[in-house]
Amino acid sequence: MTAMRQQEIATLTHKFSSVTLYKNSTVRYACMMHAIIACQMEFQLYPMDIQICPIYIESFSYHNQKIRLKWADNGVTINPELKLLQYNLGQPLQLEETDGYMPEKYGTHP
């Protein structure tokens, strides 16, 4: 994750994650994760500027033909207690973006 300050997998007595294997050979991994994100703010059009904080999540070892990451329907939420004085906080946008690349391979893995 770019611009990440802190990240943790949610736990109480165990991790909130699961792996599901489907008959069509699809594997689904799901986990609950909390991340604290920091973004550089730009004030060129102050006080009429709009701040957008992009967050990119990607695999570090598989390309998009091997793995597909997808948000759940309610996967992105904003804490309702969050307050920014003199700012209107909009709803998060969930955009689907595919970037084709082939990661470099090191070592002896297939």
Neighbours of 32 (CB within 10 A): 13
Instruction: Say how many CA atoms lie within 13 Å of 100 toward its Cβ.
Output: 1
pTM exceeds 0.85 for this model: no
Name residue, tokens 């006080």: 47
Residue 87: predicted pLDDT = 72
15-63: pLDDT as tens digits: 678 889 999 988 888 877 777 777 788 888 887 888 877 777 777 777 7
Residue 68: predicted pLDDT = 75
Beta strands in the chain (DSSP E): 4-9, 17-21, 27-31, 33-37
Q: Is 26 helix (H, G, I), strand (E, B) or coil?
A: coil
